[in-house]
Amino acid sequence: MLFICTGNTCRSPMAAALFKQKAEEAGLSVDVASAGVFAEQGMPATSQAIEVMRKRRLDLTEHEAKSVGMLQYSPNDLLLTMTRSQARMLVAEYPQLAAQVHTLREYVGEEGDISDPFGGDYAEYAATAAELERLIKLLVDKLMQ
């Protein structure tokens, strides 16, 4: 399972951490990672993302951004983006992955993009984290079926 956003410093690392927590609680064994379509290798998670996740007892302090192009994919990997434009970019660059690429919202039966809190205040990060947490719960439920 790979969560993908733009810079891999807020949405996708938060989604990956939340998914790992919820999957473990549900007894699901799934490898999880995150990456960005325009990530600068090695960048840390933003301080707001770290703080928002700390409140959920999740630690992003060791996170280092990774570029989508630096990762290996298997035919069974599910690649979940935060926006439709990220999904389109991924499919344009890696057409062989088209069947595996979805937005997180689309995959759980919803429409729309997940807003990017980058550059925003703590409240914006908290709202994005709450939205991700809700969507991740739906994702885990879907995978458990």
pLDDT digits (tens, 9 = 90+) for 93-136: 999 999 999 999 999 999 999 999 999 999 999 999 999 999 99
Domain carrying residue 99: 2-144
Give the global pTM. Answer: 0.96
Of these residues, 11, 77, 88, 121, which one is catalytic?
Answer: 11
Of these residues, 59, 116, 134, 141, which one is catalytic?
Answer: 116
Q: 20 Cβ partners below 8 Å, 6+ apart?
A: 32
Provide the domain count of the chain.
1
Predicted pLDDT at 114: 98
The reply to whether 116 belongs to the active site is yes
Residue 32 has pLDDT above 90, yes or no: yes
Where does the pLDDT of residue 91 fall: very low under 50, low under 70, confident under 90, or very high at 90 and above? very high
The reply to whether 57 belongs to the active site is no
Which CATH number fits the domain that encloses residue 65?
3.40.50.2300
Residue 75 has pLDDT above 90, yes or no: no
Give start and end residues of each alpha helix (H) in 1-145. 11-26, 47-54, 84-93, 104-107, 122-144
